[in-house]
Amino acid sequence: MSSKLDLVFSALADPTRREILTMLLEDDMAVTDVAEPFTMSLAAISKHLGILTRAGLISQEKRGRVKWCKLEPEGLKDASIWMEAFGQFEHVDLDAFEKFLQAEQLQPGETPEG
């Protein structure tokens, strides 16, 4: 589940991809329609869509000659469950949480100082 969460959070880290997800809340969209409001190439948008697809946040399918994008809300389920675990606290000390995450990533025998 950790690698899946990594993909989801990595995909959500980019503002363009978050905007695309917001657009897809309304309805399925053709790739060209998704690209329209952005000042980047269709190839750049396609890369963003590929990242969202690999993260399971959208699906893409070809209908005739047109490629369509569809929001996959189920893709956010694991991330949502993970974040809800922190909702039980009134205040989350983000500095302490960051230190905890860094400590979890250490190899056996390593110390936080390196």
pLDDT by position in tens, the chain (length 114): 578 899 999 999 999 999 999 999 999 999 999 999 999 999 999 999 999 999 999 999 999 999 999 999 999 888 888 888 877 655 556 677 777 777 777 656 666 565
Residue 38 lies in a domain: yes
Write phi, then psi, for 27 (nearest 5 degrees).
-175, 170
What is the model's pTM?
0.73
Residue 39 lies in a domain: yes
Determine the Cα–Cα distance for residues 48 and 25; give it in Å rounded to an integer: 17
The structural domain count of the chain equals: 1
Residue 86 lies in a domain: no
Is residue 70 within 8 Å of residue 28, measured between CB atoms?
Answer: yes
Residue 100 lies in a domain: no
- Domain residues for 12? 2-76
Residue 21 lies in a domain: yes
Question: Token pair 């946040």 is at which residue?
Answer: 57
Residue 89 lies in a domain: no
Is residue 7 within 8 Å of residue 58, measured between CB atoms?
Answer: no
